[in-house]
Amino acid sequence: MSDEEDEIVLDQLNDEDLVLQMHDDLYDGLKEEIEEGVNILLGRKWTPYDVLTKALVEGMRIVGIDFRDGILFVPEVLLAANAMKAGMAILKPLLAETGAPRLGKMVIGTVKGDIHDIGKNLVCMMMEGAGFEVVDLGINNPVENYLEAIDKEQADILGMSALLTTTMPYMKVVIDTLVQQGIRDDYVILVGGAPLNEEFSKSIGADAYCRDAAVAVETAKELMKKKHNQMIA
Ligand code: B1M
């Protein structure tokens, strides 16, 4: 068979095969194919949220397994991350397009020593989509960045992300600093990232651990409602 005959035409695949192909393309770091796949699914009336979770996040989960098992290495994972970000860039305005009333303001960043930002970016997108104002501090944030931003932005919520077991303890450094300065209770503090769990979140004094971006939105809504009720009580 010639190469031409071998070539896969994404648009000709049914939804299920297209999603599987997108997992492969993400694995191979094929940015343009991911962009094309995202646009095809949207054209087939998939919701942006389904495209995000079923095609992109699931694809990255598979990448994560082979990274852990030493089958993929940093350069390949970086390519996959770039492809994922390209897909997310198409979805971002669609997820933010709800016209919901502003529910509160969140400052969020990945902690010092950690450069993982895909999950955090996803949380930003979903929070914006749900009606929160989001100030994204990016990656590798020392405590000073958080302190400056929550004050300057008059934030309601402080969000922190960490993907490494070596960087997650830094969240406690940030919370302890807020406690020392007597401002801890002025903010709802949400934490997330693959190595965290509920117990860790409690042990460092955060208000809640968010397993994923959807949980972050629900938790933020719930805790903002509580905060509001306390203020008017
Ligand atoms: Co990294 N890496 N990485 N990596 N990387 C992990 C985290 C790892 C688990 C891989 C593995 O071994 N299986 C492992 C950590 C092991 C550990 O600590 N126990 C690891 C390692 C070891 C490393 C390096 C040390 C590798 C090296 O250099 N030898 C290095 C560290 C660099 C550093 O930060 N200093 C490194 C580098 C990289 C890349 C640069 C190549 C790339 C990052 C690119 C980028 O982010 N721009 C990368 C990637 C992509 C990963 C994996 C494969 C995927 C992470 C991801 O994007 N997941 C990851 C494997 C894994 O997690 N299984 C891995 C998809 C994303 C949607 O999920 O980030 O979990 P996640 O976010 C979710 C939730 O956790 C939650 O909501 C998100 C959306 O649903 N959430 C929040 C996250 N943050 C939140 C904040 C909130 C709320 C919810 O606040 C309110």
Q: Which of 88, 108, 163 for a ligand 1 pocket mutation test, highest count of atoms within 8 Å of Cβ?
A: 163
Residue 92: band (very low, low, confident or very high) from pLDDT cuts 50, 70, 90 = confident
pLDDT of residue 97: 67
Q: Which pLDDT score, from 0 to 100, does residue 214 have?
A: 84
Residue 163: is its pLDDT beyond 70? yes
CA–centroid distance, 17 to ligand 1, in Å, is 27
Mutate to test the pocket of ligand 1, among 95, 116, 166 (most ligand atoms within 8 A of CB): 116
Using CA positions, which residue lies closest to atom 85 of ligand 1? Answer: 192
| Ligand 1: residue whose CA is nearest its atom 18 | 164
Residue 99 is predicted with a pLDDT of 59
**Backbone torsions φ then ψ of 47, nearest 5 degrees:** -75, 150
pLDDT digits (tens, 9 = 90+) for 170-229: 999 999 999 999 999 999 999 999 999 999 999 999 999 999 988 999 999 999 998 888
Looking at the chain, the whole-number percentage of residues with pLDDT higher than 70 is 95
For 124-147, the pLDDT digits (tens) are 988 887 788 999 999 999 999 999
Question: Who contacts 136 (Cβ-Cβ below 8 Å, separation ≥6)?
Answer: 108, 109, 120, 121, 124
**Whose alpha carbon is nearest atom 27 of ligand 1?**
74
Q: How far apart are the first and last CA of the chain?
A: 74
- The amino acid at 131: G
* DSSP string for residues in 20-71: HHHHHHHHTT-HHHHHHHHHHHHHTT--HHHIIIIIIIHHHHHHHHHHHTTS
Using a 6 Å CB cutoff, which residues line ligand 1? 57, 60, 63-64, 67-68, 74, 77-78, 81, 108, 113-120, 122-123, 159, 161, 163-165, 190-195, 210, 212-213, 216
Question: Closest Cα to atom 77, ligand 1: which residue?
Answer: 212
pLDDT in tens, 28-45: 999 999 999 999 999 999
**pLDDT for the residue 35:** 98
CA of 164 to the centre of ligand 1 (A): 7
